[in-house]
Amino acid sequence: MSLPTAAALRSRKLAEIQNTTYDLLIIGGGITGAGIALDASSRGLKTLLIEKNDFASGTSSKSTKLIHGGLRYLKNFEFGLVREVGHERAIVWKNAPHLVHPEKMLLPIVEGGSLSKLGASVGIYLYDYLAGVKASERRKMLSAEETAKTEPFLNKQILKGGALYTEYRTDDARLTVEILKTAERFGATVINYAKAEKPVYQGKKIGGFEIRDELTGDTFSVKASGVINAAGPWVDEIRKADGSLSGKYLKLSKGVHLVFPFKKLPVNQSLYFDVKGDKGRMIFLIPRGRAVYAGTTDTFYDYADNPNVTQEDVCYILDAVNALFPEAKLTENDVESTWSGVRPLIMEEGKSASELSRKDELFVSETGMITIAGGKLTGYRQMARKSVDTFLRNTPELQAKCKPCFTETIKLAGAGFESKTQFLQTLKDSAGQIPGSLLVLESLFDKYGSETDVILNMAYDIYSENRTLENPLVLAELLYTIQHEWVVKPSDFYNRRTGLLYFNRPKVTETARLIDAHFAEWSGFSPTQWAEFNKQWNHEYNEVLNFQ
Ligand SMILES: Cc1cc2nc3c(=O)[nH]c(=O)nc-3n(C[C@H](O)[C@H](O)[C@H](O)COP(=O)(O)OP(=O)(O)OC[C@H]3O[C@@H](n4cnc5c(N)ncnc54)[C@H](O)[C@@H]3O)c2cc1C
């Protein structure tokens, strides 16, 4: 196939960036930066987003992957936050229906747990009301017998009842990538493996950044009328470089998730339950395809880079799950994969990690650099609107040419369909001509939505060139993510675009030879660089099961 390689696509973009002056430079390609890129570009700003690693490689691929209504915030009486995220949740669902799935969540009420039947009933009623949950999705209280019937593997000896309410499941990294793809359609430029190193000033005001290409080590300067720092757990590093780290600062809290094969814990729906022996803390158990994942821990942590999974983290989650599902008898050997991320929280003296607010905060430095910190996946759109509003208020010459925020009505890339069932029906004919496609069509759609069509066409072309291929679809997925989703390294593909590292490790092994045979060629990087990428990937693949 005569498509440009990843390296060629990248050098074209780097040349364009070095020859352009931008209205706005965004640092950080997690969900916050992605949301800002979409907001700014759709309003008409010439926008550049740089990410030092891969997009969503920070906290935005390490969350519990829920578009929350924010039930847990009720405990801290953060009513405003529950209302805001409830409203936002409905918007994210409307704009990315292929990536956001409303699902029932069971909250078992157990002996010695943090919630009484009455407490749960009133709390979830209030939550439904504040979050604007529609009538058909409102909470249903269950007796102990009904709860046991809903989830037969639960520990019946401690069960007092249960509540069913609605949460929305997503894929955080894919959501981030779809927002970035949409921003690009509005004219934004986004680039991964490009690190903001040193601020550049025009007089006393910030006017760009010195950037390091993390793949070659080259550095260059980018000019922009303004800078928004959306570097998540790293925002204070950027504030420090700008000489503006004072007043409030970040406190990081680590959260670990463990993944098990679904057959070891075949739950009927997601659950949110008390951690035995850690009063007041609750964790999630969420089925996803052939896997089920549980988390999270919440402990202060000092470093933003590569938060590790410790033996203690593993025991904490295993004990909590086994207490509720004693028959599962889960051990460390059942852990198929893990991930660990850090929450960028705003420090408040005397509070524990769980007590710190998940609210976002915005700081404007004397040099004019805007920093947006804290917050949630769910609230990304509002955080983006606030950041861009602030930038425009401080830059009246640009405000005059910009539209007001209208991201509420922007359908994300992949959302170009009316009904999933009908869309899948229209794809069945073309899928039928490609080996192995019909079986995985729906899971492909749940990742790429209406773009599945493009992937199937690529698979058809690949298969036409070589009819002996057993799995042309996985190659097409790789090619699509290189051409349209900035995939450079194996980890970008296996971890953040497809989720295989976490949710289907057997498929990683199964497809490794086929993928390897094409990836190096389609990537276009030198053999030395490619060997280095592979070394990093092998390390990451093993590291998720290395508990220190
Ligand atoms: C365990 C856990 C569970 C969570 N669960 C949920 C949930 O279920 N629902 C929910 O709504 N929220 C959840 N959250 C919160 C949510 O994940 C975060 O609020 C959100 O992902 C933060 O996104 P961000 O873009 O601000 O940060 P990040 O995703 O970390 O993005 C910041 C990016 O900046 C880049 N960067 C840093 N320095 C530089 C530099 N110098 N130059 C260029 N780029 C740079 C980083 O590489 C990184 O990719 C959870 C968080 C954790 C840790």
Statement to judge: residues 190 and 314 lie in one domain: no
Q: What's the pLDDT at 165? A: 92
Sign of CA dihedral 36, 42, 43, 46: positive
Angstrom distance (rounded) from CA 161 to CA 166: 17
Give the residue whose CA is nearest to atom 48 of ligand 1.
Answer: 58
Structure confidence by residue, pLDDT tens digits, 142-187 = 999 999 999 999 999 999 999 999 999 999 999 999 999 999 999 9
Classify residue 76: in a domain, yes or no: no
Statement to judge: residues 488 and 509 lie in one domain: yes
What is the mean pLDDT of the segment spanning 486-509? 97
Report the separation in Å between the CA atom of 70 and the middle of ligand 1, taken as the mean of its atom positions: 17
Statement to judge: residues 402 and 288 lie in one domain: no
Statement to judge: residues 140 and 275 lie in one domain: yes
Residue 547 CB neighbour total at 10 angstroms: 18
Is residue 353 pLDDT above 70, yes or no?
Answer: no
Statement to judge: residues 142 and 260 lie in one domain: yes
Q: What is the CATH number of the domain that holds 137?
A: 3.30.9.10
- Among 48, 54, 59, residue to substitute to test ligand 1 (most atoms within 8 Å of Cβ): 59
Structure confidence by residue, pLDDT tens digits, 271-298 = 999 998 888 889 999 999 999 999 999 9
Give the residue whose CA is nearest to atom 15 of ligand 1.
Answer: 376
Of ligand 1's listed atoms, the one at least distance from the Cα of 304 is 30
Classify residue 457: in a domain, yes or no: yes
Structure tokens of 181? Answer: 């793809």
Statement to judge: residues 192 and 336 lie in one domain: no
Classify residue 328: in a domain, yes or no: yes
Classify residue 507: in a domain, yes or no: yes
Average pLDDT, whole number, for the chain? 93
Angstrom distance (rounded) from CA 134 to CA 392: 35
As for how many domains the chain has, the answer is 3
Classify residue 151: in a domain, yes or no: yes
Give the residue whose CA is nearest to atom 35 of ligand 1.
Answer: 28
- One DSSP character per residue, 200-246 reads EEETTEEEEEEEEETTT--EEEEEEEEEEE--GGGHHHHHHHTT---
Classify residue 147: in a domain, yes or no: yes
Amino acid of residue 60: S
Q: What's the pLDDT at 136? A: 84
Q: What is the CATH number of the domain that holds 402?
A: 3.50.50.60
Q: What's the pLDDT at 355? A: 67
Report the separation in Å between the CA atom of 355 and the middle of ligand 1, taken as the mean of its atom positions: 19
Statement to judge: residues 182 and 324 lie in one domain: no
Is this model's pTM higher than 0.85 or not?
yes
Statement to judge: residues 203 and 292 lie in one domain: no
Angstrom distance (rounded) from CA 130 to CA 139: 13
Is residue 75 pLDDT above 90, yes or no?
Answer: no
Statement to judge: residues 318 and 455 lie in one domain: no
Is residue 99 pLDDT above 70, yes or no?
Answer: yes
Statement to judge: residues 218 and 312 lie in one domain: no
Statement to judge: residues 33 and 104 lie in one domain: no
Structure tokens of 110? Answer: 């157990």
Domain ranges, residue 432: 420-543
Is residue 1 pLDDT above 70, yes or no?
Answer: no
Is residue 201 pLDDT above 80, yes or no?
Answer: yes
374 lines ligand 1 (CB under 6 A): no
Statement to judge: residues 238 and 256 lie in one domain: no
Amino acid of residue 1: M
Classify residue 187: in a domain, yes or no: yes
Angstrom distance (rounded) from CA 439 to CA 52: 37
* C-alpha pair distances (Å), 374 with each of 59, 216, 258, 301, 365: 11, 32, 24, 15, 17
Report the separation in Å between the CA atom of 383 and the middle of ligand 1, taken as the mean of its atom positions: 13
